[in-house]
Amino acid sequence: MNAKEILGMKIIDKDGKEVAKLADIRFNVKTYQVVDLYGSTGNPISKKYYEIDPKSIIAMGEYLLISETLDQLKENTLTKIPADDETSTINQGLEKTVIDKDGNIAGKVTNIEIAKDPLTVTDIIVEKQSFGKSKAKYEINKDDIVTNGDYIILNKTLSQEKVPEEDKDDETKEEDDDKE
């Protein structure tokens, strides 16, 4: 699953009521384990956040089902998502600059891959752009990340590890074969 698909997902409590939308996910920057999830409700001016323990997740598909009720969530109501040095959030990670081991800018984080069981950040998708157009796209494993602070620093250079892109020529050939 990638972060952009998950964020904004509706959260349903054990009574079958929609309680919030998934606003952010907090993970430990050393182990990459998901520590907390944050559901949000309300308008942008008076937004409230609910802190959700990953252990309370029953299922995650088109909806996020949790084993708590709205009343239990209201006990953990926050006015903003707290900051912490040991953890980072998905929203903080997106658009962060990535630097390779030679000190060159490798690109910016455009997405983050998350494994369901256990809930862990596995990879980051890094894109290098020029004048708004994508030049290269890389999938970086969490093991290749040395530091995750204001910048993400890698233990390698990224010239050889592009994410394979779908070939439009292959799709056209398949369509032509189908017509025959």
Ordered by start, the domain boundaries in the chain are: 3-89, 92-154
In CATH, which superfamily holds the domain spanning 92-154?
Answer: PRC-barrel domain (2.30.30.240)
Q: Judge contact between 130 and 121, C-beta under 8 A.
A: no
CA distances from 105 to 42, 59, 129, 139, 176 (A): 38, 38, 11, 15, 41
Q: Is pLDDT of 168 > 50? A: no
**Banded model confidence at residue 180, pLDDT cuts 50, 70, 90:** very low
Fold equal for 3-89 and 92-154: yes
Strand ranges in the chain using DSSP code E only, listed in sequence order: 10-12, 18-28, 34-41, 48-52, 57-60, 64-66, 77-78, 87-89, 97-99, 105-115, 120-130, 133-141, 145-148, 152-154
Phi, psi of 177 (to 5 degrees): -65, -35
What pLDDT is attached to residue 171? Answer: 46
Q: Judge contact between 24 and 38, C-beta under 8 A.
A: yes
- Domain at 3-89: CATH code: 2.30.30.240
Rounded-to-integer distance, Cα 175 and Cα 38, Å: 44
Mean pLDDT of the 120-130 span: 89
**Which of these ranges, 12-16, 125-129, 171-175, has the smallest mean pLDDT?**
171-175
